[in-house]
Structure 1
């Protein structure tokens, strides 16, 4: 399995901004250097004689000097702590992090990071139902994933024990039916992408979800699937690949988590054409098939489209409504 990694691009404005910032810093340094003799002459020959003769001015000068020194020492301490934090983040290859419910400024930073991503050949997604990533209107990475040619997705098995356990741990308004509907919408969306020439592969796992992983290019988005909380309520971390030292950082370990899950023969692959789960052995040889069906009642959920996919998604909106006679668990 190849690992395609593109180099990040730098815009003209970004280079110009760095050039201007270095120019301003250089001018300030030159101005301070040339003003030092005049400042020293003023302090020693004019200011200090007045201070010696005026006790109030001397007290004010001492207080001002103490305040400035306290401020400088505090700034130095903050800079040192930040330096340690930057060093730790660099060692972990942490490119971005935000807490759930972060403000608009944090969201803008993440949007800026997403805009800098080059078009990747492949995108790997390990998640629960895929609704927040592929279907939700506020999905941040959907447009980037759509640009990839090969998309590999792993969702929790809709008829497995893990999905029921996950639903039981969430608030009462989120039920098994809710998760089934979200998985159905995700399958419909992925089916529509296949009709647009994308190489889409989907597998299901049947364990309690632990990580949500989205690998695109040199970056991987990580969220912990904490029991009892929705994934979108969890902090989000973005790790980047260090080309010079791939062993450093957490990009490769999380990337390998996805690859190990994907290559696990226990996880069946979904056949979009027949609505069946395809089981294979460790060598990749097909050992059996079973129809995928989920007992969902009610009308199909409308699928939000992106870049003209709505027409293609309509035909795949009810893929899970056919009940399977075998390998299904009654909910």
Structure 2
């Protein structure tokens, strides 16, 4: 075990011990508060009874006061009955949420919500392997206020899936957002910054792996131990405007945590998604048995699709003297190309 890994292990153990002590102190404080409240109510009962009897002796023969008192009591009973009905409904919803593994929901990324999310990720990410699916990774990995910016410094490793910035999916995503200040070039620059961060993490001894997928992003997914953070990539909206859900692993096999965890495992294990070589800046394609099949440079010069077959819409036609143009496909190839273009807009 290296010296940095030893320090990391000691930090994780110390942090866990401090958190256990704080939880114990919180439970003790809660029980003391309940005990003091019960004692206060018991000691004040005689005074409350005397006050009530005095008030009742004054209003028992006053019809107006009795009517007002009856109206107040009836209103309180109605409010109590409605609150009880809502409580039972909320209890049923809470049970469904617990069974599904949903523990938190943040409707927007307000400053307080962002701080709460980041604190929870820091607690769960220390000494663990980070597993994430994202778009460019900039807002999650490299941004100083990103959700995982500080977590990656204390994790033991990372498995990251990002969108290939030179794929049609990236261009379709940027076009759908319709932000004039957010261009494909900026998206590619953000991906490059994420790559540089992962290279630095690997240089200090962390186990880091990166893969690029070439289909439109569906979810932003972060897995840290028994907790999972989930956001949906809306076709037309920025991810920062979307709500974030926190799922927790439980003993129920039907929980949503298990579903999305298997989703990540399937995506990560897909042989159609190449792995990025952090040493050579190449995309490595592997077969079903995990053996390396081929490598292609990572960059705009790559004009092949995800499985390495040239796009039918870019078939060259030689005109002579070394001149060529890219023709549009005809016949059956035209139908395939149309289906392929339509797929990126679904």
Q: TM-score, normalised by structure 2?
A: 0.76
1:297 maps to none
Contact 2:99–2:252 (CA under 8 A) maintained in structure 1: no
1:220: Cα distance to partner? 1.1
Encode CA deviations 1:80-119: one digit per residue, 9 max, x unaligned.
Answer: 34323322221121122112343x4333432442343262
* 1:13 aligns with one of 7, 14, 22: 22
Q: 1:286 aligns with which of 292, 316, 324?
A: 292
* Alignment CA distance shift 1:159-1:107 (3 Å): closer
Cα distance between partner residues in 1 of 2:39 and 2:232 = 50
Secondary structure of residue in 2 paired with 1:116: helix
In structure 2, how many angstroms separate the alpha carbons of the residues matched to 1:78 and 1:324?
Answer: 58
In 2, distance between residues paired with 1:168 and 1:105? 31
Please say if residues 120 and 217 of structure 1, whose CA atoms lie closer than 8 Å, have aligned partners that are also in contact. Answer: no
- Segments of 5+ residues of structure 2 without an aligned counterpart are 1-11, 315-346
RMSD of equivalent CA atoms: 2.7
For 1:259, the equivalent position in structure 2 comes to 265
Using the size of structure 1 for normalisation, the TM-score is 0.79
1:50 correspondence with 2:58:
yes
Number of the residue aligned with 1:229: 237
1:124 has 2:131 as partner:
yes
Point out where structure 1 has 5 or more consecutive residues left out of the alignment. 1-5, 295-322
> Does the CA contact (< 8 Å) of 1:151 and 1:201 recur in 2?
yes
Cα 1:141/1:74, change in 2 over 3 Å: farther
Q: Check 1:118–1:87 CA distance in 2 against 1; reply closer, same or farther (3 A cut).
A: same
How many residues are paired up? 293
Q: Partner of 2:142 in structure 1?
A: 135
User: Could you tell me whether the CA contact under 8 Å between 1:212 and 1:222 is conserved in 2?
Assistant: yes
- Name 1:268's counterpart in structure 2: 274
Q: Distance in 2 between matches of 1:163 and 1:182?
A: 12
Q: How many Å apart are 1:145 and its aligned residue?
A: 2.6
**Residue by residue, what CA displacement relative to the aligned partner does 1:154-187 show, whole Å, maximum 9, x if unpaired?**
1112222211221221114222212111111111
